[in-house]
């Protein structure tokens, strides 16, 4: 039996994969395109799952990159609710979990990340939600409501957003996390402590400096026991403790792996016919002079599109600086570069712990910036980081509005 072949195959139906097929088709109107995604949904954006879908600022249909007629009209074949199990690099074929085999000219791995799982008793109980996917949102949206009790495990990016989302839905929320305050890996101490107080003022119970020890069935709900001796009853348990890059397929194919799938400046893997983009790609962050992965929306959409364009004939080095953002009740921010609380910080507040810019420095040079309730300043922050010049506190006062 002959194998059906495509000029381009994209593995992964998330934001990076969905962006890639759009850019491929913009540049190559005729080359055959196949996207294989493990989820049952069309490619969609993840940020609304913990933000605007909960506030009503977006509706479900708004999260999809394109509707199904777009893919049909542009000759992009979709295989959903299936995954690639094997890459045969010599034969330039992929085999899916369902046993179908397809040939490729160029292949993109946009396999994303896998939620980290807890290693405690009860971590794998049914309906404990390791929050990442659209189906997770659909499940929780049905469960959440006035008076429902939720335990959110994790106080970082996803944990803080989900506690905000569930509280907005009028659930009674308890957070459990090991840090001293919310988003301890990002925020300077004073800001982190202030944001934590704001959560508490809105009725969120915060068990900081603690960790779950066990999750148990408690009637129709759950009981979460913590190492600090607390026992919290809940109708739902949501875990957001980060992700790990999904590199198993690439590793089995013999591609070069580090903290992710290693790619060159054109987003090619160690096999020139195979590219990688998104949460799983380990790339050269040129402005910072180091290799890293970035697990945020802007990198996924931009890098996915960039990889697709290069697959279709462009040869442009990936020199983009991706930003990220969050909304925690009334506190919102945009950030770019190396935003790490372990770095030296200089804070230029207009309103203390509310409005202003936090600069993250190493050796007197700006490595990252977080604009707190300050908008449309990402390009200025990128330019400051790219310059790589030593700066003083006086230089930074008012530097980004």
CB–CB of 20/311 below 8 Å? yes
Our CA angle for 131, 134, 136, nearest 5°, is 40
Query: For residues 366, 329, 184 and 236, what is the CA-based torsion angle, rounded to 10 degrees?
Result: -140
Tokens 């055959």 correspond to what residue?
Answer: 32
The pLDDT tens digits for 265-285 are 999 999 999 999 999 999 999
Residues of the chain scoring pLDDT < 50: none
4-114+243-311 topology per CATH: FAD/NAD(P)-binding domain (3.50.50)
Beta bridge partners of 36: 11, 79
- Residue (of 264, 273, 272, 310) closest to 107 by Cα position: 273
- Residue (of 236, 175, 183) closest to 206 by Cα position: 175
- Residue (of 233, 154, 170, 231) closest to 204 by Cα position: 170
Q: Two tokens at 78?
A: 């979709």
Element (H, E) at 257: strand 257-258
Residue 170 sits at φ, ψ, to 5 deg, of: 75, 20
pLDDT of residue 381: 98
CATH 3.40.1190.20 holds for 129-239 = no
The pLDDT tens digits for 71-125 are 999 999 999 999 999 999 999 999 999 999 999 999 999 999 999 999 999 999 9
* Prediction pTM value: 0.95
- Residue (of 83, 109, 95, 111) closest to 8 by Cα position: 109
Same fold flag, 4-114+243-311 and 129-239: yes
pLDDT of residue 1: 60
Rounded CA-CA distance 258/248 in Å is: 12
The domain locations on the chain are: 4-114+243-311, 129-239, 330-396
Q: What is the mean pLDDT of the chain?
A: 97
Which CATH architecture fits 330-396?
A: 2-Layer Sandwich (3.30)
């Amino acid at each position: 039996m002959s194998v059906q072949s495509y000029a381009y195959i994209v593995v992964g139906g998330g934001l990076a994969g969905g962006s890639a097929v759009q850019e491929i088709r913009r540049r190559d109107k005729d080359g055959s395109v196949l996207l294989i995604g493990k989820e049952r949904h069309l490619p969609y954006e993840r940020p609304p799952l913990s933000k605007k879908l909960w506030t009503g600022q977006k509706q479900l249909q708004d999260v999809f990159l394109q509707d199904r007629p777009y893919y049909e009209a542009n000759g992009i074949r979709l295989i959903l609710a299936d995954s690639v199990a094997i890459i045969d690099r010599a034969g330039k074929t992929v085999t899916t979990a369902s046993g179908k085999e397809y040939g490729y000219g160029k292949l993109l791995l946009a396999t994303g990340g896998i939620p980290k799982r807890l290693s405690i008793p009860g971590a794998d109980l049914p309906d404990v939600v390791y929050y990442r996917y659209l189906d997770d949102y659909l499940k929780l949206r049905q469960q959440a409501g006035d008076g429902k009790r939720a335990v959110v495990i994790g106080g970082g990016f996803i944990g803080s957003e989900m506690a905000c989302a569930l509280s907005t839905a009028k659930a009674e929320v308890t957070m459990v996390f090991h840090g001293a305050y919310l988003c301890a890996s990002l925020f300077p101490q004073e800001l982190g402590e202030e944001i934590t107080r704001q959560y508490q003022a809105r009725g969120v119970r915060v068990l900081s400096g603690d960790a779950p020890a066990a999750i148990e069935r408690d009637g129709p709900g759950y009981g979460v026991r913590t190492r600090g001796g607390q026992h919290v009853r809940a109708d739902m348990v949501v875990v957001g403790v980060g992700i790990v890059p999904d590199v198993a397929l690439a590793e089995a194919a013999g591609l070069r792996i580090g903290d992710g799938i290693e790619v060159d400046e054109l987003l090619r893997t160690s096999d020139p016919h195979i590219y990688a983009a998104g949460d799983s790609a380990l790339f050269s962050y040129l402005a910072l002079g180091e290799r890293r992965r970035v697990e945020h929306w802007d990198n996924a959409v931009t890098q996915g599109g960039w990889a697709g364009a290069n697959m279709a004939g462009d040869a442009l080095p990936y020199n983009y600086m991706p930003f990220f953002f969050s909304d925690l009740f009334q506190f919102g921010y945009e950030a770019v570069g190396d935003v790490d609380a372990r770095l030296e910080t200089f804070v230029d507040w207009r309103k203390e712990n509310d409005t202003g810019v936090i600069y993250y420095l190493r050796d007197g040079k700006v490595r990252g910036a977080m604009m707190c309730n300050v908008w449309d300043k990402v390009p200025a922050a990128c330019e400051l980081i790219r310059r790589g010049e030593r700066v003083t506190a006086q230089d930074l006062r008012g530097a980004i509005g």
